Amino acid sequence: MKTLVVVSHPKINDSQTQQFLLEGAKLQDVTWHHVEELKNIDVEKEQSLLKNHDRIIFQFPLYWYSAPSGLKHWEDEVLTRNFVYGDGDDNLGDKEFGIVVSTGMPLKDFCHGGSENVTIDEIMAPYFAIANRAKMKILPTFTIAQFQYMNESVQMQLLIDYQRYLTQTYPDNLKNRQEWFEREFADRFKDFNDINCNACETILDTFIQRKENIDQLKSTISLIKQGEDD
Amino acid sequence: MDDTGIWLNQQVDELSQKQKEYKNRAFLVAMKKMVEEQSKRLEQLQGEVDGRLWNHEQW
């Protein structure tokens, strides 16, 4: 699965959050695409970039309850009516669509009755509408609130959650999470060879064994339930 | 947490402390949480199996 991260930030080099995410996005099959860096928008090139990826992510900081103007400009140029739905081709149909949004406000403020009095999902409604029109599958929004206040361990968790958001199979359930960690551990295992890691193989085997135990227990429960129905 | 879970967490923790690269450390910190989630789920599922197998009509 290939993921395209369409990033919009007018001063990306000054943004700690975006630089942190940029490091996280350095993964196989992930393309980082910063729209403000494009001198001219080559519509055909941009459209083919979209077509060549399976998961499309819009990533931006929240500016007055919306994305920076760079993303709107890119959308207006690239997402032509014919490309999105007009020519009957469903160029984006069946692709996944997600949003990574950052805000300096606490997440708890984004609810009815909170200081913002609006939810993140409501603010993202125009993007969901586009994705819906394009027959894309919408992923839950990944919100990063107050990155500057996060301590190291929270940032570490955020980095991996973000990587999972970009590359893990959806829905985000236990099965898919375990498979992601299994695959990634095996991949990153190679990098562990420079240190003494006798335990790596045992760790992975034990992890897989526990995953299988969970599956086994689930199927036992399913059998018992069937018996109860009879 | 079950014994295997505790052991696995220790192993992941030790491996994490040996890592010089931030990304590897972050990955292993997150993996520890994953192992804890596995333990919780295993305990819940085992509890459900025990609960469903306990049939008062067969007393």
State pLDDT tens for residues A207-228: 999 999 999 999 999 998 888 7
In a domain, B11, yes or no: yes
CA nearest A23 in B: which residue?
A: B23
Contact A218 B21 (CB under 8 A): no
CA atoms of A100 and A17, how far apart (whole Å): 11
Q: Is the distance from CB of A177 to CB of A211 less than 8 angstroms?
A: no
Look-up: residue for tokens 């190679």? A190
> How is domain A3-170 classified at the CATH fold level?
Rossmann fold (3.40.50)
pLDDT at A178 over 70: yes
In a domain, B47, yes or no: yes
Name the pLDDT band for A198 (thresholds 50, 70, 90): confident
Q: From chain A, which residues contact B within 8 Å (Cβ)? A: 23-24, 153, 155-157, 159-161, 174, 177-178, 181, 184-185, 188, 191-192, 195-197, 199-200, 202-203, 206-207, 210-211, 213-214, 217-218, 220-221, 224-225, 228
**Which residues are paired to B55 by β-bridges?**
none
In a domain, B28, yes or no: yes
Q: Is the distance from CB of B9 to CB of B32 less than 8 angstroms?
A: yes
In a domain, B13, yes or no: yes
pLDDT at A207: 97
CA-based nearest distance B59→chain A, Å: 17
Tokens of A116: 């913002």
* ipTM attached to this prediction: 0.93
Percentage of chain A surpassing pLDDT 70? 96
pLDDT at A194 over 70: no
Measuring CA to CA, which residue among A139, A134, A41, A43 is closest to residue A91?
A134
User: Alpha-carbon torsion B26, B32, B33, B35, what sign?
Assistant: positive
CA atoms of A97 and A128, how far apart (whole Å): 8
Distance in Å from the first CA to the final CA of chain A: 42
CA atoms of A218 and B46, how far apart (whole Å): 9
CA distances from A183 to A58, A77, A115, A187, A190 (A): 25, 38, 42, 6, 12
* Other Cβ atoms closer than 10 A to A207: 23
Name the pLDDT band for B53 (thresholds 50, 70, 90): confident
Tokens of A72: 């709107």
Q: Which of A46-50, A87-91, B42-46 has the lowest mean pLDDT?
A: A87-91
Mean pLDDT, range A29-36, rounded to an integer? 98
pLDDT tens digits, A47-82: 999 999 999 999 999 999 999 999 999 999 999 999
* Other Cβ atoms closer than 10 A to B17: 9
CA nearest A181 in B: which residue?
A: B31
pLDDT at A27 over 80: yes
Contact A199 B14 (CB under 8 A): yes
| Nearest-CB residue to B38 (from A188, A191, A214) | A214
pLDDT tens digits, B1-31: 889 999 999 999 999 998 889 999 999 999 9
pLDDT at B54 over 90: no
How many structural domains is chain B composed of?
A: 1
CA nearest B45 in A: which residue?
A: A217
In a domain, B20, yes or no: yes
Domains of chain A, residue spans: 3-170, 173-230
Look-up: residue for tokens 């020519």? A87
pLDDT tens digits, A117-157: 999 999 999 999 999 999 999 999 999 999 999 999 999 99
In a domain, B59, yes or no: no
In a domain, B22, yes or no: yes
CA-based nearest distance A146→chain B, Å: 19
Residue A155: phi, psi to the nearest 5?
Answer: -65, -40
Provide the domain limits for residue B37. 3-54
